[in-house]
Amino acid sequence: MRRYTRSGYFGAARRRFWMDNLFCEGHEQELVNCHFEGWGENDCEPGEAAGVVCYPPENALIPLPVPILRDEDLPKYPIHSRSRLYVRLRGGRSRNEGRVEVSLDGGRWGSVCADGWSLLEANVLCRQMGLGYASEAFQTDFFGGANASQPALSGTECYGNETELADCLHHDAARGIVSCHGNRQHVAAVICDYLSPDLVVDYLEIEQTAHLEDRPMLLMQCAMEENCVANEAYQIQRDDPHWRYRSRRLLKFTAAAINAGNADFRPFKEKSQWEWHMCHMHFHSMEVFATFDIFDLSGRKVAQGHKASFCLEDSNCLPGVPKKYSCANYGDQGISINCSDVYLYNLDCQWVDITDLRPGSYTLKIAINPEFKVAEMNYDNNAAICDLIYTENFARVQNCQLARP
């Protein structure tokens, strides 16, 4: 593989999504051998289509290259400091929404190609315009498409903490290079709001609760239905008639997400789309709210958690703050301002299966809202990156720092 792409880089998906929440360890021969939700089971939006750019196989007979620069090979740069990129919103019902239009050095106004346009880019734009934070990022002509303005900028890619859209990477607009995979309606649009949640990982809770447990597979049948163990466990289940008496070594910990923003954190799926889980006896509103990954010192992922889905509720709140959300009895789900959602270490799937991990020093990364599906003030405090020391007899998590997913 040369590199992967995100956020509909090659254009929004036009047909059905067949695979979602794909977990591969890297040795699989086909994607079907990886863990995923099930054929057609997804909560994807058209702008979330995954893509990839591949190298040709070694020793392959390759025809002479055609001197055409493909879109994925086009270099990207920030707008030059001697130039000025003006921005505005048009076509919206109010001043805080609309399609994004830009003008370079006072030239013609044009739209922004929506390839790769996400909440990261939208947050930069809203902040630059003094409109707060992005609550929605669209790849749509809802606020007008090419019939209203022609594309003037493409390839926009932001980290999320830039001061202006000009600080992000783009195709070279100064030379007139605008390349858009989508059709005439594929334009960037946004809705801004002064109110937004802001989740923070409680890394002290992780450090204080992390421990090992050797758990019999007999007690993990519900967790195995949700793909919460490593691939080797399913091979044992398939090949060993006495698999129930085998055990798995789990790194368990409590994970808490605190809402330090000025708006409630709500799942992006409508209540009618929530899924009932018999094992947990309540509805799950988000398929991926948190991810648990372990990396070796070279940065290679060597183990990961496979928590299938999540229920969001107010577990703990600051004094004087009433609890609003609850998982029980089909209640509304979310995390209120100044409240936290706590997943205790004794819950199913609140672990990483490290049975086949060799003792040594590693990095543990725990991230919440890792796919940026729910808008937040920023994502730089949505992950905890920690040192993990693992021996035959114990595990210690220490030196955690806040980071982005």
Residue 56 pLDDT > 80: no
- Residue type at 115? D
Query: Distance (Å, rounded) from C-alpha 349 to C-alpha 335?
Result: 21
The mean pLDDT of the chain is 85
Would you state the torsion angle of the CA atoms of residues 61, 67, 72, 75, taken in this order, to the nearest 10 degrees? 130
What pLDDT, on a 0 to 100 scale, did the predictor assign at position 324? 95
Give tens-digit pLDDT for 144-203: 876 667 888 999 999 999 999 999 999 987 787 888 875 567 899 999 999 999 999 999
The pLDDT-based confidence of 59 (bands split at 50, 70, 90) is low
Q: Which residues does residue 316 pair with via DSSP β-bridges, in sequence order?
A: 340
pTM score, whole prediction: 0.79
> Would you state the structure tokens that stand for residue 259, as one six-digit string?
């809402």
Quick: pLDDT tens for 293-339.
999 999 999 998 866 567 889 999 999 999 999 887 777 889 999 99
Cα(314)–Cα(266) distance, rounded to whole angstroms?
Answer: 11
**Does 240 score more than 80 pLDDT?**
yes
What are the structure tokens assigned to 98, written together?
A: 């609309």
Give the C-alpha separation, 274 to 331, whole Å: 11
In the chain, what percentage of residues exceed pLDDT 90? 50
Beta partners for 301?
Answer: 295
Rounded to whole angstroms, the Cα distance separating 381 from 349 reads 23
Q: Please tell me the predicted confidence (pLDDT) of residue 69.
A: 46
Query: Per DSSP, what are the bridge partners of residue 317?
Result: 339
Confidence band (pLDDT; 50, 70, 90) for 67? very low
Nearest-angstrom CA–CA distance, 52 and 5: 6
Which residue's entry shows tokens 């695979």?
A: 19
What would the pLDDT profile of 94-112 be if each residue is shown by its tens digit?
999 999 999 999 998 999 9
